[in-house]
């Protein structure tokens, strides 16, 4: 990866796609055609339904009580014989009773479990869905190279190829059904069933879809295989070609590109929050956040620049556009009041759930990064007089030979950029464009 793109505080491509850094060598090893665009994207997730989640948990408790009435102390053994022990809430950690004859109670327990299976099919437990897609030129390559590829994933991987027998245990029913779908060449069960990778060859296009439950708690873990096996229609829907498209803000054929849509990440946070019951998570009051000015950020390292140059486009929200439209052509120095940006203090995330946005470095360093700029620029100008030039509508920094230690939070990220700043004199130019709807940024050696 170009040095200037290392350690960006943005959501990371999962290692389960076997190409986390998206570098050309990793993509080539996956079978993607050289010198063509390959793109990894975090796709929208189903709207979570807190009431359906609660209905599933209630159905388990109700079934456990009803099964105990029918089969007494042997209710868990009856469910076990039906392959459904974990569906009774009181059976997950209960030791097996060896002297239970439950043949006469099986039919009744099976009927008791029916509402639980119905609730499973109606529950959309929150998960992250990443897709890696691009042209390929080696049919069947993934299956042939799987042994080498799976070493890149920090968790476990079990690969099932098309036409191969699939064990019935765990989410085997789902894996078997997915292998029968059109164009699927392999399905990989990862992280003890908490993640799944579906590999497809569609014409000349290689598509890898990675699904991962996240923040899994004790309540959800034993239910995951049952949720998966009841969710084939959901997986088919998520595997479908998207009906919505988006135009990239920068051209991916001209350089390595990272683009982040803030509202999209916020919507994933909201879905995860609604699934808190399944994750045994305590959520507090929803955070009251300041109006944000940034809607999306696209950052690219152009090819042919030795990985040292960076260009960015920051699109603004209506609030941000209102701010930018009021900027003037007044000189920035000696004071930075012309920017009209007040620092903000962000409340902590409302739970320990692994939100992709709330409480992350991306939120503090980028989404609310504009508000931190005047203080940073003032500190740079105080330590290195003359480094800041330009007007409120077109700023220019001549960065000192420094990695900015003591000027920025060590946890802010951007390690690649800050290391480059310490090695060469850089110039940073920021210009307000499109009548205040966007900021155009260029970072390059002077």
Instruction: State pTM to two decimals.
Output: 0.92
Rounded to the nearest integer, the mean pLDDT of the chain is: 90
* pLDDT reported for residue 333: 65
Question: Could you report how far apart the first and last alpha carbons of the chain are, in Å?
Answer: 22
How many angstroms separate the CA atoms of 2 and 6, rounded? 7
Q: Which of 61, 198, 44 is nearest to 124 (CA)?
A: 44
Q: Do the Cβ atoms of 178 and 184 come closer than 8 Å? A: yes
How many angstroms separate the CA atoms of 311 and 287, rounded? 32
Q: Is the torsion defined by CA of 304, 305, 306, 308 positive or negative?
A: negative
pLDDT digits (tens, 9 = 90+) for 113-147: 999 999 999 998 889 999 999 999 999 899 889 88
How many angstroms separate the CA atoms of 358 and 267, rounded? 11
Inform me whether the pLDDT recorded for 246 exceeds 90: no
Q: Do the Cβ atoms of 325 and 316 come closer than 8 Å? A: no
Q: In what order do the strands lie in the sheet with 426-433?
A: 255-261, 294-302, 310-316, 438-445, 426-433, 394-399, 388-391
pLDDT digits (tens, 9 = 90+) for 294-346: 999 999 999 999 889 999 999 999 999 999 998 888 777 656 777 888 888 99
Phi, psi for residue 281 in degrees, rounded to 5: -105, 140
Q: In what order do the strands lie in the sheet with 38-42?
A: 38-42, 127-135, 205-213, 195-202, 184-190, 157-161
How many angstroms separate the CA atoms of 209 and 196, rounded? 8
How many angstroms separate the CA atoms of 357 and 368, rounded? 12
Tokens 């999306």, residue? 296
Structure tokens at 116: 């639980």
Residue 73 buriedness (CB in 10 A; 0-12 / 13-18 / 19+): exposed
Contacts of 94 (CB under 8 A, 6+ apart): 76
Task: Report the pLDDT averaged over residues 227-238.
Answer: 94
Inform me whether the pLDDT recorded for 403 exceeds 90: no
DSSP, collapsed to helix, strand or coil, labels residue 148 as helix
* pLDDT reported for residue 331: 76
Pairing between β-strand 184-190 and β-strand 310-316 as defined by DSSP bridges? unpaired
How wide is the angle at C-alpha 127 spanned by C-alphas 125 and 130, nearest 5°? 155
Phi, psi for residue 184 in degrees, rounded to 5: -75, 125
Element (H, E) at 197: strand 195-202
* pLDDT reported for residue 334: 57
């Amino acid at each position: 990866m170009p040095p200037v793109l290392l350690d960006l505080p943005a959501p990371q491509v999962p290692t389960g796609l076997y190409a986390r850094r998206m570098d050309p060598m990793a993509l080539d090893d996956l079978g993607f055609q050289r010198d063509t665009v390959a793109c990894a994207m975090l796709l929208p997730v189903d709207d979570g339904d807190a009431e359906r989640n609660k209905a599933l948990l209630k159905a388990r408790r109700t079934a456990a009580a009803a099964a105990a009435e029918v089969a007494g102390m042997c209710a868990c053994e009856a469910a076990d014989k039906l392959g459904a022990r974990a569906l009774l809430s009181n059976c997950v950690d209960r030791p097996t009773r060896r002297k239970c004859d439950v043949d006469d109670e099986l039919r009744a327990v099976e009927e008791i479990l029916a509402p639980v299976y119905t609730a499973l099919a109606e529950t959309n437990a929150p998960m992250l869905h990443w897709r890696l897609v691009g042209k390929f030129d080696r049919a069947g390559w993934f299956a042939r190279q799987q042994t080498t590829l799976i070493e890149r994933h920090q968790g476990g991987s079990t690969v099932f190829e098309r036409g191969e027998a699939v064990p019935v245990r765990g989410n085997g029913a789902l894996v078997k059904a997915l292998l029968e779908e059109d164009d699927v060449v392999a399905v990989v069960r990862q992280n003890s069933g908490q993640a799944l990778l579906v590999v497809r060859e569609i014409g000349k296009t290689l598509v890898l879809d990675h699904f991962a439950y996240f923040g899994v708690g004790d309540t959800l873990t034993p239910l995951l295989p049952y949720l998966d096996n009841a969710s084939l229609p959901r997986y088919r829907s998520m595997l479908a070609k998207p009906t919505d498209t988006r135009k990239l803000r920068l051209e991916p054929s001209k350089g390595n590109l990272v683009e982040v849509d803030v509202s999209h990440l916020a919507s994933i946070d909201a879905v995860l929050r609604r699934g808190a019951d399944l994750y045994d998570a305590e959520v507090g009051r929803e955070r009251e956040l300041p109006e944000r000015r940034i809607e999306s950020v696209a950052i690219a390292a152009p090819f042919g620049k030795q990985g040292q140059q960076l260009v960015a486009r920051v699109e603004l929200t209506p609030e941000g556009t209102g701010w930018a439209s009021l900027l003037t052509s007044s000189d920035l120095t000696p004071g930075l009041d012309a920017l009209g940006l007040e620092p903000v203090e962000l409340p902590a995330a409302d739970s320990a759930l692994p939100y992709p946005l709330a409480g992350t470095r991306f939120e503090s360093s980028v989404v609310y990064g504009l508000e931190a700029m005047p203080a940073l620029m003032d500190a740079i100008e105080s330590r290195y007089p003359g480094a800041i030039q330009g007007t409120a509508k077109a700023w220019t920094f001549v960065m000192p030979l420094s990695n900015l230690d003591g000027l920025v939070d060590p946890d802010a990220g951007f390690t690649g950029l800050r290391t480059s700043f310490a090695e060469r004199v850089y110039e940073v130019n920021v210009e307000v464009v499109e009548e205040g709807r966007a900021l155009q940024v260029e970072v390059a050696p002077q």
